């Protein structure tokens, strides 16, 4: 019987899917860390301004960081429908808990924590 064979394939497929979902979550977490560090950034800019220095470089670096993470998150594709997971009609919504297109949940049925 090919029953066993196909169930192993299914398992592999499931693993691949979980791995991609994990990647998506990780990319999103990086963007969130960026959000959360915003107050730190503001304080840093204030300090630099008080010291009478230019802040252009910090601002550019921060914006580049944001853009980089944003593009990274936006480029993540759903393992099920292969559409952009967080993007629907040009809007990036990193707070989604499921795929913008097929509704595939971001939290897979994985047991590996994180
Ligand atoms: Zn999808």
Q: Where are the domains of the chain?
A: 3-92
CB 19 within 8 A of CB 76: no
Separation of 112 CA from ligand 1 center, angstroms?
22
Q: Where are the beta strands (DSSP E) in the chain?
A: 87-88, 91-92
Residue 112: what pLDDT? 45
CB 92 within 8 A of CB 71: no
Q: What's the CA gap between 46 and 53, in Å, rounded?
A: 10
* Tokens (6 digits) for 41: 């950034």
* pTM reported for the whole predicted model: 0.76
Residues 4-47: tens digit of each pLDDT: 668 899 999 999 999 999 999 999 999 999 889 889 989 989 99
Separation of 81 CA from ligand 1 center, angstroms?
4
Separation of 11 CA from ligand 1 center, angstroms?
19
Give the DSSP H or E segment for 85. Answer: none
């Amino acid at each position: 019987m090919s029953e066993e064979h196909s169930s192993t394939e299914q398992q592999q497929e499931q693993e691949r899917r979980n791995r991609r979902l994990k990647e998506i979550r990780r990319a999103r977490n990086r963007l969130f860390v960026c959000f959360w560090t915003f107050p730190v950034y503001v304080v840093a800019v204030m300090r630099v301004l008080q010291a009478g220095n230019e802040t252009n470089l910090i601002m550019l670096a921060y914006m580049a960081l944001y853009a980089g993470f944003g593009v990274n998150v936006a480029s993540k594709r759903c393992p099920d429908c292969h559409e952009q997971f967080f993007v629907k009609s040009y809007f990036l919504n990193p707070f989604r808990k499921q795929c913008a297109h097929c509704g595939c949940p971001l939290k897979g049925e994985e047991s590996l924590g994180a």
